[in-house]
Amino acid sequence: MQHRHLNHQNFTLAAIDDVIGRGQRQDWSGLRHAVLDNPLLLEKILRVCGAHTHDPYAQRYHLWKHYVEQQLA
């Protein structure tokens, strides 16, 4: 998924936020594969999710936060 000026290939914080917030299943799969190749992305995902998990209806971010916590455990 390409959205505006975001650099999804490098998975900046803005790109991660866009993938989680607006992405479809294939975009999430791409993010998951990137995490498997580069575990340092887990911390970035956790930062992005932390900005949204105050909202109980932001289920996408809660899901990814849970995924990251499971990977770090």
Tokens of 30: 């791409």
pLDDT at 28: 94
Domain count, the chain: 1
**Domain membership flag for residue 7:** no
Distance CA 5, CA 29 (A): 21
**Domain membership flag for residue 5:** no
**Domain membership flag for residue 8:** no
**Domain membership flag for residue 3:** no
**Domain membership flag for residue 47:** yes
How do residues 8-65 score in pLDDT, each as one tens digit?
Answer: 668 889 889 999 999 999 999 999 999 999 999 999 999 999 999 999 999 999 999 9
pTM listed for this prediction: 0.87
Q: Which residue range is the domain that position 19 belongs to?
A: 13-72
**Predicted confidence band at 2 (pLDDT cuts at 50, 70, 90)?**
low
SS3 category, 50: helix
**Domain membership flag for residue 34:** yes
**Domain membership flag for residue 4:** no
**Predicted confidence band at 7 (pLDDT cuts at 50, 70, 90)?**
low
**Domain membership flag for residue 60:** yes
